[in-house]
Structure formats: structure tokens, C-alpha cells
Amino acid sequence: MARETYENIVIIGASVAGHALANELIPIIPRTHRILLIDALDYSFYPIAALRASVVPGWEDKIVVPLKTSTVFTEFSQHQVIAPNKVVELRKNSIILEKPFEGSTELPFFKAVVATGSTQPSPMRPSADWTGINDYKKALINSQEETKKAKKIVIVGGGTVGVEWAGEVRAAYPDKEITIVHNRSSLLAPDSNGKSTNTTPESWSSPPTAPKLSKSLVSLAEQNKVKLILNDKVIIPKHQVSQGEWDGSFGRQKRGLVRVKTEKGKTIEADYVFLSIGNKPNSTLVRKADSNAVEGSGLIRVDDNLKVAATSDSSPLSGNNYYAIGDCTAAPGFKTAYLGGVQGKVVATNLVNEIKGKALTKYSPGTFTGLVVPFGPELGAGSITLPYLGTWAVGNGMVKSLKGKGLFIDMFLKSFKGSEKV
């Protein structure tokens, strides 16, 4: 029987945003088109629970799922997962893959969506060369073992990641010495207008934080014997350091106890250094195709419909063929899985509208903002802002049931709609 031919909708990146888009498209895409969901890794990972997986044994199995056509799509569907395979170039009507698919490395498409997310040091995200599922699991197990051995931990950066990791370590190990060094007057990024806002943060630091939430996290940390050094910055060494000084390396220190120095002249001893900094948009592919389509921050410029904003007719990204969603875009709103999902929904509608010759819809991040920061499975603090009603503080019990206990793992697993159960 001759193979049916389809027009391809290519999604580059099969993590939270790319996968959410595929799931939105499945029920509405015409039979003439197929989804090709591509990822450089042979597994999907869940950053939201990665911090616990780096401390608590067993969680490394919960946060990764094999990325295959059979785990993502139902039997007999025309859609396919292409993984592990890396997209190496964007062209006007096609993309170039590292390895051939259906006999060619050039893959033509009707429309393509860039969902390449961000890069962040492990454990938050796997390193790009850990393409096999066991590579990341091994790194997480290693991190669990090293954390267990550590006696004096310094956390560089008191944003959501640093605070959450401190909470995970404290919940598992009541006696380790933990110090967070943060360059603000309080934890996270207290905002002077007193509210959480919905503007795109300038960098990849924490979103503006209601001061009440920031204060609650300070109390939580202090009650749990986490030492805070605020309004100061750890000096990250750029050159070779002398004996006994921290050399900038992440994790357990090979040279035993080292001295970590701050800009204001403090010295802290550590045998484990956790860097909760260094989250960057992964926009290399777009930059290579059209450097003007990427902002100074590294985020991909998009228009109201989430189409990549190409800057000239000669750009391979011109012709309205590319969309971008998730952590890699400059679309308004915070870089969250939640908004990645909202963007996926908008782009699914727009793709089908384009197939049917209908007008496109606009993206809006909405007016709801919430920030919930677990401090281990039982504790945490958060704030929720609703339009006209204001900002509410959320305490331990609510944080535990909203996020802390399960870290949304059920939602992650439910996103796999394939015939092979995960």
C-alpha cells in the first residue's frame, strides 16, 4: 500500500511547551497534515521536579519519560516523534536534521514551531550531550549521592531555584550547614510596587515578587536553619585560584573544604556549591538564521500571533513560516510551563486557522499570576494575584497541596497520550 503523504507541521523541542502544542493540535488538525515532534534527546524531562530528583532517591525515575511515537501519539495516528535527532538549521520551507528522517536530513514543512526552551546547568535541565535517558538519570543519582555526603553547602543565588533546592536538602537532611548568598535585600526579587507583575523579566532571575512572599521565605529559611547572606554576591572565579579557594565548580568540591568569597569580603567554607544561576534562552538556531530575530536578552522576538519576527525578506525566517513558544520566546509573561501551555493553545489554533484560511488569534498571558515556592514536600510560601482583587499570601498547607507534595508529576505523566503507557 502506498504511504500517505502529508503536509508537515514541525515542532522543534518536545518538552513542556512543544508537547503541550502537540496535544492541543491532535484533536483539531486536519487529516491532510501531520505533526512531527522533534527533540535532541530520547527522553522528555520535567524541570519542575528536577530539584527534588537531585536530592531524593527514586525521583530520578519520575521526572523522565521515553520520547517515542508510541508514548506521545495513539496507534494508527499519522503523527510521529523524531527523537533523538537535533535540528541544526532553519531554512525558509524546511529544516535540516543531524540524522536522516525518511531518507533525508532535509525536512520540508507547511509551518514550523521553535520550542527549544532554555539552557540551565544540571540538575535543573540535562546537559545537551546527555541524549540518552540514562545519562540524565545517572547525573541525578550522582547529585543525590554527593548531596548526601556534603556537610557545608553554599547556594549561589536566592531566587526560586536556590530557595527550593535549600528546602529539598533541609527536608532530607536536618543537620547540614546551608548558606544562601543572594544579591537582593530579601529572597527572590522583591518588587517595589508591592505586587507580582506580569511583565517579562529583563533577565532569567526570579519574576518580581510580592514583598510579603519574599519575607515569608526569609522566615521559613531562618526557622529551618538556612543561613542567609543578603545584599552580597559570590565572586565566581574566572582564573586559576590558589590552594583552598573555590574554583567556580558546581557540586561537591573535589578538593574537600574550600573558601567561597563574596564581593563584600565575606568568606564561607563549603564542600558543596550549588549554582542556581545561568538560565539562558536557547535561541541559537534562530540567531544563526537571522540574528535580528533575537533580542539582546537572547529571547526570540515574536509578534502578537507568536510568529517569529523576521527582519528582512532575505531572512530564512521570513514568509510567516515560523512560530516560537515557551521559554525561548520574548512573548509577554513569565517563563513558565503554564504560559508555555497557553502559547501552545494559541499556536495550535493559529496553525489550523492557517490551514483553513482563517484569521489568526492573538496571544495574551492573561491577568492571573501566581508564584508558589515549595520548601521541601511539606513547607513553602506563595502569592496569588487576581485582577481587581489583589495579591494573597499562601502558606505551608496550600503550597504543599498545590505543588510541594507531588510537584505536578501527575500532570507531566498525563501529557503522554500514546498507546504505550508511561
Q: Check residue 373 for interaction with ligand FAD (CB under 6 A).
A: no
In 365-417, DSSP assigns E strands to: 369-375, 379-386, 390-394
Q: Check residue 385 for interaction with ligand FAD (CB under 6 A).
A: no
Distance CA 284, CA 150 (A): 36
Residue 248 vs 278, nearer CB to ligand FAD: 278
Q: How many CB atoms lie within 10 A of CB 157?
A: 23
Q: Which stretch binds ligand FAD (CB under 6 A): 34-42, 211-219, 267-275, 380-388?
A: 34-42
Q: Strands 267-270, 258-261: parallel, antiparallel or unpaired by DSSP?
A: antiparallel
Half-sphere exposure of 9 (CA within 13 A, CB side): 29
Q: Check residue 205 for interaction with ligand FAD (CB under 6 A).
A: no
Shortest CB 113 distance to ligand FAD, Å: 11
Distance CA 203, CA 46 (A): 22
Residue 190 vs 340, nearer CB to ligand FAD: 340
Q: Check residue 338 for interaction with ligand FAD (CB under 6 A).
A: yes
Q: Check residue 38 for interaction with ligand FAD (CB under 6 A).
A: yes
Shortest CB 36 distance to ligand FAD, Å: 11
Q: Which stretch binds ligand FAD (CB under 6 A): 118-126, 226-234, 348-356, 389-397?
A: 118-126
Q: Which stretch binds ligand FAD (CB under 6 A): 25-33, 109-117, 252-260, 378-386?
A: 109-117
Q: Check residue 110 for interaction with ligand FAD (CB under 6 A).
A: no
Residue 258 vs 277, nearer CB to ligand FAD: 277
Which grid cell sits at 69?
A: 511515537
Phi, psi at residue 306, to the nearest 5°? 70, 25
Interface with ligand FAD (CB under 6 A), residue from 47, 157, 159, 298: 47
| Residues in region 124-183 near ligand FAD by CB under 6 A | 124-125, 161, 164
Shortest CB 294 distance to ligand FAD, Å: 14
* Maximum distance among all Cα pairs of the chain, rounded to whole angstroms: 74
Interface with ligand FAD (CB under 6 A), residue from 9, 16, 72, 258: 16
Phi, psi at residue 341, to the nearest 5°? -70, -40
Distance CA 213, CA 221 (A): 12
Q: Which stretch binds ligand FAD (CB under 6 A): 15-23, 28-36, 171-179, 233-241?
A: 15-23
Q: What angle (nearest 5°) sits at the alpha carbon of residue 134, between those of residues 128 and 140?
A: 80
| Contact call for residues 134 and 152 (beta carbons, < 8 A) | no
DSSP state string for 178-234: EEEE-SSSSSS-B-TTSS---SPPSSSSPPPB-HHHHHHHHHHHHHTTEEEE-S--B
Interface with ligand FAD (CB under 6 A), residue from 9, 22, 25, 41: 41
Q: Check residue 337 for interaction with ligand FAD (CB under 6 A).
A: yes
Residue 329 vs 391, nearer CB to ligand FAD: 329
> What is the 3-state composition of the chain as percent helix, strand, coil, each rounded to the nearest 5?
25, 25, 45
Shortest CB 91 distance to ligand FAD, Å: 14
Distance CA 288, CA 291 (A): 6
Query: What is the H or E stretch that residue 274 is in?
Result: strand 272-275
Handedness of CA 184, 388, 365, 344 (dihedral sign): positive
Residue 211 vs 281, nearer CB to ligand FAD: 281
Which grid cell sits at 209?
A: 515578587
What residues are paired with 107 via a beta bridge?
Answer: 95
Residue nearest to ligand FAD (CB): 117
Interface with ligand FAD (CB under 6 A), residue from 34, 182, 335, 400: 335
Binding mask 60-99 for ligand FAD (x = CB under 6 A): --------------------------xx------------
Q: Check residue 327 for interaction with ligand FAD (CB under 6 A).
A: yes
Q: How far is CA 329 from CA 62, 134, 275, 332, in A?
A: 28, 29, 24, 9
Q: Total residues at the site for ligand FAD (CB under 6 A)?
A: 35
Residue 104 vs 185, nearer CB to ligand FAD: 104
Q: Check residue 336 for interaction with ligand FAD (CB under 6 A).
A: yes
Interface with ligand FAD (CB under 6 A), residue from 340, 376, 382, 418: 340
Which chain residues interact with ligand FAD by CB under 6 A? Answer: 12-18, 38-41, 47-48, 50-51, 86-87, 115-118, 124-125, 161, 164, 282, 285, 326-327, 335-338, 340, 403
